[in-house]
Amino acid sequence: MRDNFLTQEVIESFHRNGYIIVPDLLDQEESDLLRTIARRDQMITAMRTSRADGEGGAVELVVENELPSDSIYSAIVQAEPLVTAMETLLGDEVYHYHHKMILKEPGTGGAWTWHQDYGYWYNNGCLFPDMASCMFAVDKATKENGCLQVIRGSHRMGRIDHVKRGDQTGADMERVDVALERMELVYVEMTPGSAVLFHGNTLHRSDQNRSEFPRWAFICCYNTRSNNPYKEGRHPRYSPLDRISAGEVAKAGQRHLLKLESA
């Protein structure tokens, strides 16, 4: 995993815009391992669920609260460069809130409605929006296959009311429409292994995948220690991360792939 990618300029950009894009955060070997493992992982096949998008499609995903031992997923979540970056951006120790794989298959992958992650994490007992996510492109992410969209600077709006839309929870569209009039809509197109880190209040969505190419994404979600939920929710309370060095990601991926091939 790429190290020392945060500069003062990048940090200021995150606080100003609510997100930063990090090209090639995973190197070629790590990116190839993540994609190969995800495609072969029978747990992903067994655990995938579907959520109607309210637009005639559905998003398939797998959400996990626990870090599987000695896997490429846990290695990425706990990799020192990513954890340190999150702590720098959020100003506190962070812990693993959950991680998930988004599975947008060619021609069928559904949309995600406009939302803030804190729009519903709020209901899990988190008092503050001191939370963030890192989305890795498993496949190439483009406008055509439903890449992430963000509204630049929308995290400064604070938490917006959210309502059910299909099987998803979406932001009040009156506010979203005004935000789109006043702020820039950004399509986050990325190559495999690249990542976008975004604040818990940043408005984001994605379109349906109408292309012939898949668009899978791996998302690591973090909460701050001082924002430990005051009640039981869908995702865990604070527990310290076992940090690993950047060079251990590929090694964990090689072991993970070997286990899959020998199963």
Q: What is the CATH number of the domain that holds 250?
A: 2.60.120.620
Domain contains 22: yes
Domain contains 60: yes
State the pLDDT confidence band at 53, using cuts at 50, 70 and 90. Answer: low
Task: Provide the mean pLDDT of the chain.
Answer: 94
Position with higher pLDDT, 110 vs 221: 221
With CA atoms as reference, report the closest residue to 35 among 257, 263, 240.
257
Domain contains 1: no
C-beta atoms surrounding 182 within 10 Å? 10
Domain contains 167: yes
Domain contains 3: no
With CA atoms as reference, report the closest residue to 131 among 220, 238, 235, 223.
223
State the pLDDT confidence band at 111, using cuts at 50, 70 and 90. Answer: confident
Position with higher pLDDT, 137 vs 263: 137
Domain contains 222: yes
H-state helical runs in 25-183: 28-40, 42-47, 72-78, 80-90, 118-121, 173-182
State the pLDDT confidence band at 56, using cuts at 50, 70 and 90. Answer: low
pTM of the model: 0.95
pLDDT for residue 51: 77
Contacts of 121 (CB under 8 A, 6+ apart): 97, 131, 200, 223, 235
Instruction: Tell whether the model's pLDDT for residue 57 goes beyond 80.
Output: no
Q: Measured on CA atoms in the order 132, 219, 209, 192, is the torsion positive or negative? A: positive
pLDDT for residue 30: 98
Domain contains 2: no
Q: Mean per-residue pLDDT for 69-87?
A: 97
Dist. CA 259–CA 33, nearest whole Å:
13
Q: Is 14 helix (H, G, I), strand (E, B) or coil?
A: helix
State the pLDDT confidence band at 45, using cuts at 50, 70 and 90. Answer: confident
How many domains are there within the chain?
A: 1
Dist. CA 209–CA 149, nearest whole Å:
13
Question: If you ran DSSP here, which 8-state letter would residue 32 be given?
Answer: H
Domain contains 94: yes
Domain that holds residue 103: 8-262
